[in-house]
Structure 1
Amino acid sequence: MTHNSTTDVTPHWAAQMHAQEVIDGKLDRREFLTRATGLGVSAAAAYGLLGLTAPAAQAATEMKSGGTLRVQMEVRPLKDPRTYDWSQMANQTRGTLEYLVEYNNDGSIRGMLLESWEVNEDATVYTLNLRKGATWNNGDAFTAEDVARNIAGWCDKGLEGNSMAGRFSTLIDPETNAAVEGGIEIVDDHTLRLNLPGPDISLIAGMADYPAAITHSSFQTTDFTKNVGTGPYLLSSLEVGVKAVLDRNTAHKWWGEEVYGTPALDRIEYTDFGTDPSSWLAALESDEVDMLYESVGEFIDVMDALGYPKSEVVTMATIVVRPNQLAEVDGKRPYADKRVRQAIQMAVDNAVCLELGYGNRGQAAENHHVGPIHPEYAKLPPQKYDPEAARALMDEAGMLDFEHEIISIDDDWRKNTTDAVAAQLRDAGFKVKRTVLPGSTFWNDWVKYPFSSTNWNPRPLGVQIHALAYRSGEAWNEFGWSNEEFDALLTQALAIADADKRREVMKKMEMIIQDEGVTIQPYWRSLYRHMREGVANADMHVTFEHHHYKWGWSA
């Protein structure tokens, strides 16, 4: 294929050169691992180029065979995985519905149902090599036809709430809102080729995201305990808001035993203790659970003092407190006015949000949703915090008497952060009403509220976040924002694998989001998880994933 001069994609032969840049201190190791593994270099080979041994190849904690692990986590209603909008949903089904690839804390991407993949020099052709030993847990063969069917489903832009369409937009024909003709090519039973009409470096990373669970042709949403998957566990019971249980599938051997070993646990139980962290701590202390989904707020210090083991990971997880530009309030769209949005942003000090909302466990962000861990991050000059100027701008927009209703969920850190924003807006002279909703209510319309806060998981690449949340018309664009210049720059950035060159485009994108006052994105937070002594290989994951096949109790 002819090289496209507008792209700059790192082929395998360049991996050695970039590995030397890491060794020389010119390139971040995490960036190298994400770049190399995303384009087809195995994690073991990538580490080998650095003179290191991949963590997956190192001995994990020796575990007992069998046992149950009880986990505190919200038990959410399930639906088609393409429309999953909370990590908890994926964790409830992850033991059964697996993924083509897996993203790990070191930034590497390794194969699960894919054994390997190759990407051509201009990132327009992806060759996917399936694991030949993988089977469905009803005995059906796992073939390229299954993967082709799932990818075609990801490209179905007509399915409401299908966020996978945002991850695979390059493969979608805008005229049909489906995969481009000839875009998904079955080569043989275990080989699939994606032929893209334009370059896109993010597809493999997108396959690791939690809505990308691989489903069987018989998948249905009537009874999720009946669904066929490829994983070692079966979802044996589901009571929304109460409990979900995963049991080892003893009737069918998991394909992964030949690759990753036999899973240790017989059973995983998820119990919903609501959104109040004090109830999570009480459950841990009363021996009702063995591990928390995550630890937040002042309870981190409390559980540290009580001696519970803690797992911590630095991440690009965050919160946005955003006005929705399309939302109507009393027949008007108050946040369609750029001046209103800019005034809101100018009235809020992100460092105060970090302190009051998350106890300074993280670092202040810059209101554009790309951060220091992202390879293409471009640091911008500090934005001006100026409540007086914010008040003047709001007055100029004729909105000084308008009452802003800011909605949040009723938990700890998200509620506290939103409270901090509301307080600062009041200090600037704005009228603010705070509404706090229980989770069961808040989750129903999270993308539609006129002004609300939402937590966001990290993604390996900054361009992934922008493609999911900020591109015009995407399912997760909760900002109601549309900008042709930004969309064009994003398309350009998705074609550039070299992070230094992609950073030049990203800087322009970051500046547009800031200038448009799209959102208050106040800080990046570190993630924590406390657990009982003896829980093994269940560290906090950078994107909240639960890899059940790794978990167990130490021997």
Structure 2
Amino acid sequence: MTFKTRTGKPMPQVIVDQAPKSGTDDVSRREFLAIASAFGATAATAYGMLGMAAPAQAAGHAKMGGTVRIQQEVRALKDPRTYDWSQIANFSRGWLEYLVTYENDGTFKPSLLESWEISDDAKTYTLNVRKGVTWNNGDELTAEDIARNIAGWCEKEVEGNSMAGRFGTLIDADTGKAVDGGIVVVDSHTVQLNLPKPDISLIPGMADYPAAIVHSSHNPDDMLTNPIGTGPYLPESLEVGVKAVMVRNENHTWWNAGNGAWIDRLEYIDYGTDPAAWVAAAESEEIDGTYSVDGEFIDLIGTLDGWVQNDVVTMSTILIRPNQLAEVDGMKPYADARVRRALSMAVDNNVLLELGYDGRGAVAANHHVGPAHPEYADIGMPKHDPAGAKALMEEAGMGDFEHELISIDDAWRKNTTDAVAAQLRDAGIKVKRTILPGSTFWNDWAKYPFSSTNWNHRPLGVQIWALAYRSGEAWNEMGWSNAEFDAILEEALATPDVEQRRALMAKGEAIIQSEGVTIQPYWRSLSNHSVEGLEGMAHHISFELRPAEMHWT
């Protein structure tokens, strides 16, 4: 039997060969669904290759109308390419849509793209733009729009443009822009990407939250007053740290009308970083849903009458990382690998999971690739040796140095970082703990010498490495640069075969772990809550809230 992509082209043989047999575990099935759908198979086709039926997506019981109020941090809007928090995208998601969406089952679904094809060597991408889509100012969505957005993603010189990390393969190293001939408008609704080398990660990159598609007139400074997009809602107001409101756009015919955009109004309400305030808001019926809740507060809200708990297992995590480029008192303490290794050796990740996250997850191995990533290689856990850590710190001449460990003031990130500090002190390493409010912390989150930061789930391990570990990337908060690792990553990005890629990942994982690049202690199970009768609020694996899918029953 020949399996085909959305456009009828046969699936690459490497994908067909990797279809797991019946009886395999959920992780194997998830791996295959992610790979097959990224290469262009519909969800139905990918599930069919597993001998399974795709999950039903119908919401025929949805009622039109109503308001939904969600507890979520409210942040300022900015150029979507520079979005650094999901909360920003969750607001603009009302009117700015994406080419592709990533689903909790691991599949990628077409949105503003109707379909796509990837050549067997992963060097040619054919993107078929959905026909019949209009911007809310009446303009037609065309291939020119998509090509322009992709070219913008490739503008490496734009400060904070993390999309350049996702599309690095398409960028000319000399110009910092897309390679000549790399983005070709074939016709009014077809774009072809011609890569100088293979890259399997572009479709997953298109689904990430900074990849919102903007109009040719887009100006980050007037996103609120001139909100041109293809989605069904419009922003009504935004007050940073207080509330953001969107309403249905009654003057725009949405391309997916009938399959979503049921509610009239959505309010994101900011209650700060103290989960106790979220519990109080739920108890007093001030909100209908929560963004994401951690620790004991999961149970506190989950046991309230009329509330439903929504759970998902993810590769979301926390990093407690030394910044190798940061200067402290005229020196760069974390440029020395011995110092970094000592910090990692002093810490037991099992303890961090228990004390920092109430054990609600799985222990990780300090290299930021996990079991839900198709190319994950199990290289074992890092060594825990407090006495050895102290000796190594002394060897580096840093035995008397006081490390300032910084975190935000919320629950799980603060608690995890506290547990790191306690174990470092137990090992005889001096630590000063600094806890900052969110309004201060996020101003310089990537620049602190030694601090903790949360990271979202990404579908592929190579995606995370390209964003956070490759030399010179905007989100490389470790300040790490390693030519051997970069070469391994480049080869992995160009390797469609998952088993061959896994062998490469094992080498990269070992380098990250052995150099003490970061303490990455656990993978998070995530939970949020919604009141009974509100659908479309299941916790997304990548922290997405989708206004068009919310509805009352």
TM-score, normalised via structure 2 length: 0.96
Structure 2 residue aligned with 1:274: 272
Matches within 5 A, 1:23-422: 23=22, 25=24, 28-55=28-55, 57-60=56-59, 62-225=61-224, 226-257=226-257, 261-307=259-305, 308-422=307-421
Q: 1:202 to 1:528 in 2, by over 3 A?
A: same
How far does the alpha carbon of each residue in 1:54-101 deviate from its partner, in whole angstroms, 9 at most, with x for none? 22x443472211101100000011110100000001001011110000
Query: Offset at 1:17?
Result: 3.9
CA distance in 1, matches of 2:69, 2:227: 23
SS at match of 1:129: strand
CA distance in 1, matches of 2:119, 2:194: 10
Q: Contact 1:71–1:292 (CA<8 Å) still a contact in 2?
A: yes
**What root-mean-square deviation, in Å, do the aligned CA atoms of Structure 1 and Structure 2 show?**
1.3
SS at match of 1:436: strand
Query: Offset at 1:15?
Result: 4.6
Query: Offset at 1:45?
Result: 1.6
CA distance in 1, matches of 2:342, 2:409: 26
CA distance in 1, matches of 2:216, 2:303: 50
Structure 1 residue aligned with 2:505: 506
Identity of aligned residues (%): 64
Does residue 473 of the first structure (1) align with residue 472 of the second (2)?
Answer: yes
CA distance in 1, matches of 2:400, 2:157: 40
Q: 1:473 to 1:15 in 2, by over 3 A?
A: closer
SS at match of 1:315: strand
Query: Number of aligned pairs?
Result: 541
Query: Offset at 1:25?
Result: 2.6
Q: Name the amino acid aligned to 1:410.
A: D
Structure 2 residue aligned with 1:7: none
Query: Offset at 1:347?
Result: 0.2
CA distance in 2, matches of 1:348, 1:140: 56
Q: Name the amino acid aligned to 2:427.
A: A
Q: Contact 2:364–2:381 (CA<8 Å) still a contact in 1?
A: no
CA distance in 2, matches of 1:313, 1:497: 27
CA distance in 1, matches of 2:210, 2:83: 5
Q: Name the amino acid aligned to 2:28.
A: D
Query: Offset at 1:534?
Result: 1.1
Q: Structure 2, unaligned stretches of length 5 or more? A: 1-9
Q: 1:340 to 1:54 in 2, by over 3 A?
A: same
CA distance in 2, matches of 1:519, 1:379: 17
Instruction: Say which is worse superposed, 508-517 or 544-553, in terms of deviation.
Output: 544-553
Q: 1:427 to 1:175 in 2, by over 3 A?
A: same
Q: Contact 1:12–1:41 (CA<8 Å) still a contact in 2?
A: no
SS at match of 1:449: coil
CA distance in 2, matches of 1:479, 1:323: 6
Q: Contact 2:232–2:254 (CA<8 Å) still a contact in 1?
A: yes
How far does the alpha carbon of each residue in 1:190-241 deviate from its partner, in whole angstroms, 9 at most, with x for none? 0000000000000000000000000111111223222200001111211111
Q: Contact 2:15–2:35 (CA<8 Å) still a contact in 1?
A: no
Q: Name the amino acid aligned to 2:388.
A: A
CA distance in 2, matches of 1:252, 1:397: 64
SS at match of 1:179: coil
Q: Contact 1:12–1:40 (CA<8 Å) still a contact in 2?
A: no
Q: Contact 2:409–2:436 (CA<8 Å) still a contact in 1?
A: yes
CA distance in 1, matches of 2:137, 2:436: 42
SS at match of 1:201: coil
CA distance in 2, matches of 1:156, 1:360: 41
Instruction: Say which is worse superposed, 471-480 or 221-230, in terms of deviation.
Output: 221-230
Query: Offset at 1:497?
Result: 1.6
SS at match of 2:421: helix
Structure 1 residue aligned with 2:5: none
Instruction: Say which is worse superposed, 500-509 or 306-315, in terms of deviation.
Output: 306-315
